[in-house]
Structure 1
């Protein structure tokens, strides 16, 4: 078996005649299984929506990395619970993004990296604007 060929892997809903193919190396194309069986199902429109979905998730992970800040005089329990909840949400989104990248699709990988970069830029740009408006 060649190293660049997809490896047949038994999937939960697959029969012996119809085994899903799992890539073990990066590949191009819309024929990818991303997060759920039959999604995006080889349809170009669904593939593009999947790419946009992982892009938005990657941007959201970066936004949640700096939110929320603890306010002076706030209830410590409520502040801790809020920060813990946001951290849990951020980790859940980060793992979903990671699982998407594990599809080994180059389009997904590129959209995730660009999404993280755009999110990082927006977070740092927002922080720079705040320091410009409120010099110390």
Structure 2
């Protein structure tokens, strides 16, 4: 019909050519369910990209971060004799706690890429880290309840 204006169909979800957030960056679809494959973004823009080798590096990085979280959760670096009231020991514990929290959040954000391989790398890193570091701390101290007494940092609330 002459004189009628056609309106474009409504967009449900993300638009492919939306430049709302950044003037030079196009927004694409974000996965909201787990998917498998090496074409993913983990933690940083365009990383690891489409290269399967870089994807393997990103999986190793997530694995190492998760294992390091377990190491920091179960480590005993400061002697107990007289160091409970030491200001420097308190600062050191605070720094360790902050690093552990930051690493926990980085692992969480990596898992939020919804890539199945990244999820398995994070869970595997936590499992191997606990097996290597946490299990020995529990075994030496006589039980799971006494781990708090053997570590520098308070336990994580998972």
**TM-score (normalised: structure 2):** 0.69
Q: Number of paired residues? A: 124
| Structure number with bigger Rg | 2
Q: Which runs of 5+ in 2 are unaligned?
A: 1-12, 143-158
Q: State the 1:131 CA deviation.
A: 5.8
Asked if 1:95 is matched to 2:95, the reply is no
Asked if 1:106 is matched to 2:116, the reply is yes
Runs (4+) off by over 6 Å: none
Superposed CA RMSD in Å reads 2.4
| Structure-2 separation of matches of 1:110 and 1:8 | 30
Q: Which runs of 5+ in 1 are unaligned?
A: 1-5
* Aligned pairs (5 A) from 1:52-67: 52-67=60-75
Question: Closer, same or farther in 2 for the Cα pair 1:77/1:131, shift >3 Å?
Answer: same
Asked if 1:28 is matched to 2:23, the reply is no
Q: State the 1:103 CA deviation.
A: 0.2
* Aligned pairs (5 A) from 1:43-82: 43-68=51-76, 69-74=78-83, 76-82=86-92
| 3-state SS, counterpart of residue 21 of structure 1 | coil
